Chains A and B, each alone.
Chain A
Amino acid sequence: MADIPSEDLKQTPLYERHVTAGGRLVPFGGYALPVQYPTGIMAEHKWTREHAGLFDVSHMGPGFLMLANPSGDAEADHAAIAGIIEPLICGDIAGLKPGQIRYTLLLNAEGGIIDDLMVARSPLVAGGLYIVVNAGTKDNDFALIEKAAGDKARLIRADDDYALLALQGPEAVNVMAALIPEAIALGFMNYGAFEWGRDKVFVARSGYTGEDGFEILVNRHEAVALWDELLSDPRVKPIGLGARDSLRLEAGLPLYGHDLDETVSPIEADLGFAVSKRRREAADFPGAGRILAEREGQPARKRVALLVEGAPAREGAEILNAAGQAIGVVTSGGFAPSLGRAIALGFVPPQLTAPGTKLQVSVRGRAQPAEVSASPFVPHRYFRKSA
């Protein structure tokens, strides 16, 4: 049984709310955060899939990268700021429209993934980008971005002065309609700034559960008021990290530090879509040689989704072929509440990645049947506007 965390953990602006709600606090990315509330992971997971779940994701790393000396010409300033961040990542930032968000990857020179992140073009400020990186990697990520910026741009970290809330699920849009009606006009992977309370909030139509929903960056002094107002809607319940993980796993979304690390390339990770066409053609991103060669040929391994029979196969479990030989490893796995069975993500040789391929996983020394599945396990329900 886990001990109560004794190390020095940071608290988010919503810490007291989690304690009052009976959240079971655990250390995560250096913060004390609720793994679950009293109703439990199963109920929280299902509530999010059917109604709307509210998550405190303030441990993540939001920030703004602003051109130091903007010219005032919006397109020229955007091109300039894109030119600062693009050498670190494989996404097309220059091509973003105001308010548009791109999922992209910070890469090392060998084409390994330093982090996965969101980069968005500010709808307000010429030469401004809104960036959200992962909690466990944020200090290193921000240091890399600051180094690339030099004196040409300024990075403003927002992780200490703001809270980040995620409202996810099929009823999230109706909840948002009552709170900030203008925000429901946003399409998937777009954001805007809206008046709420005494300040502006930044609302993105995004998330990591596979559901429609919003991520809201709010000044830390307004965070509790926003949390309370969202929870006053009977369609909304607070959801802990446990269900956040089972939701993203069912959505087939990789988790940095587990499914992705500095040895894994975007092609191996089945994130080829994150290598934007313009960048591919220019071959002007870190590790382009390896990544483009893997894209044309075969990577050594590839991330797959697995339906597992019997006990859950957790991170570190070996993946075996039908003959029982070890061919790969599970990088995240667990029980899928929406499917009522065990599922996993892991890496196997590329010739064994076709959906329906029969494999096995080794759990506590015993081989259990597993089958390669199409990904996502549970269909995404993002709100995509036709262009």
Chain B
Amino acid sequence: MTTKFTPDHEYIRVDGETGIVGITTYAQEQLGDIVFVELPAIGKVLRKGDEAAVVESVKAASEIYAPVSGEVVEVNSLLTSEPGMLNSAPEGEGWIFKLKIADSAEIDSLLDADGYADLTL
């Protein structure tokens, strides 16, 4: 399993053909208290960079983009009742959706952990 990052602060944890997508710890700190999450529909086909979900803090709404192209195969419906999970465990239980990756070459173009860490210094 490998985890990659986008400059927009999404992560994707790759497990074979499936990627688990969420926002980074840095992103949730910047957003503040998350109060509402709009999840994508299962079966939705996303291209890399498409708006996939919306995360709302007390202050503002932020779009979450698909890090790579693929089909949404599962969503974390726990976030509907407990959006605060995105603050407490963004890279664990607070994942947002799972994607069946269309083109694994797109994964290679994303940032690795060191590259992302440099970005958020």
Contacts and interface: CB of A to CB of B under 8 A. Distances in A.
A binds B: yes
Contacts of A1: 8-9, 27, 30-31, 62
B75 interface: no
A354 interface: no
A2 B36 contact: no
Contacts of B41: none
B121 interface: no
Contacts, number: 49
B59 A242 contact: yes
B58 A311 contact: no
Contacts of B8: 1
A312 B56 CA distance: 8
Nearest to A340: B35
B61 interface: yes
B56 A311 contact: yes
A329 to B, nearest CB: 17
Contacts of A35: 59
Interface in A270-329: 310-312, 314
A41 B36 contact: no
Nearest to B120: A1
Interface string B17-56: 0000000000100111101101000000000000000101
B1 interface: no
Contacts of A190: none
Contact of B36 (A45, A242, A312): A312
A209 interface: no
Contacts of B57: 41, 335
B22 to A, nearest CB: 15
A337 B54 contact: no
A57 B74 CA distance: 46
Contacts of A311: 36, 38, 54, 56, 61
A334 B30 contact: no
A335 B36 contact: yes
* Most A-side CB within 10 Å, residue of B27, B35, B54, B61: B35
Interface of A: 1-2, 35-36, 40-43, 45, 242, 245-246, 310-312, 314, 334-335, 337, 342, 364
Nearest to A342: B36
Contacts of B27: 1
Contact of B54 (A36, A246, A364): A364
B60 interface: yes
B56 A41 contact: no
Contact of B35 (A2, A312, A364): A312
* Most A-side CB within 10 Å, residue of B32, B33, B38, B61: B33
Contacts of A242: 32, 58-59
A42 to B, nearest CB: 4
A279 B49 CA distance: 58
A41 B59 contact: yes
B30 A2 contact: yes
A242 B58 CA distance: 8
B92 to A, nearest CB: 19
A40 B29 CA distance: 9
Given A311-B61, A312-B61, A314-B61, A36 B56 contact: no
B38 A41 contact: no
* Most B-side CB within 10 Å, residue of A1, A2, A36: A1
Contacts of B61: 311-312, 314
Interface in B48-87: 54, 56-62
B38 A334 contact: no
A36 B32 contact: yes
* Most B-side CB within 10 Å, residue of A36, A245, A312: A312
Nearest to B36: A311
* Most A-side CB within 10 Å, residue of B30, B59, B62: B59
B38 A40 contact: no
B89 to A, nearest CB: 16
A310 B35 CA distance: 10
14 contacts: A1-B27, A40-B32, A41-B32, A41-B33, A41-B58, A42-B33, A246-B58, A312-B35, A335-B35, A335-B57, A335-B58, A342-B36, A364-B38, A364-B54
Nearest to B33: A42
Contacts of B36: 310-312, 335, 342
A246 B35 CA distance: 13
A311 B54 CA distance: 10
Nearest to B60: A314
* Most B-side CB within 10 Å, residue of A2, A42, A246: A42
A167 B56 CA distance: 29
B58 A334 contact: yes
